[in-house]
Amino acid sequence: PPPPPAVSLIEVGPRDGLQSESLFVPTPLKLQLIESLLAAGHTRVEATSFVSPKWIPQFSDANDVMSALSPAPGVELSVLTPNLQGAAAAASHAATSAMSVFGAASEGFTAKNINCTISESISRFGKVAAFAAEKGIPVRGYVSCVAGCPYQGAVPHEAVVRVYAAMREMGVGEVSLGDTIGTGTPEDVSALLAKIVAVEGSAAPVAVHFHDTHGSALANILRSLDHGVTKIDAAVAGLGGCPYAGGGATGNVATEDVVYMLEGMGVSTGIDLEKLVLAGRQVTEFLGTETRSKAGGAIYRRMVKEGRA
Of 60, 68, 211, 90, which Cα lies nearest the Cα of 142?
211
Instruction: Decide: 112 and 244 in contact? Cβ < 8 Å.
Output: yes
Q: Measuring CA to CA, how many Å separate 226 from each of 145, 189, 203?
A: 21, 11, 10
Start-end of H helices in the chain: 27-39, 62-68, 84-91, 107-114, 118-135, 157-169, 186-200, 217-226, 255-264, 273-287, 294-305
Return d(Cα 46, Cα 12) in angstroms, integer. Answer: 5
Amino acid at 305: K
Return d(Cα 78, Cα 63) in angstroms, integer. Answer: 13
Q: Which residues contact 180 (CB under 8 A, 6 or more apart)?
A: 104, 109, 144, 145, 146, 148, 149, 150, 211, 242, 245, 249
Amino acid at 235: A
Return d(Cα 254, Cα 235) in angstroms, integer. Answer: 5
Q: Is 54 exposed, middle or buried (0-12, 13-18, 19+ CB in 10 A)?
A: exposed
Return d(Cα 295, Cα 280) in angstroms, integer. Answer: 12
Of 122, 8, 142, 154, which Cα lies nearest the Cα of 79?
142
Return d(Cα 127, Cα 106) in angstroms, integer. Answer: 21
User: Looking at the annotation, which residues are catalytic?
Assistant: 242
CA 131 to centroid of chain Cα atoms: 22
Return d(Cα 295, Cα 286) in angstroms, integer. Answer: 20
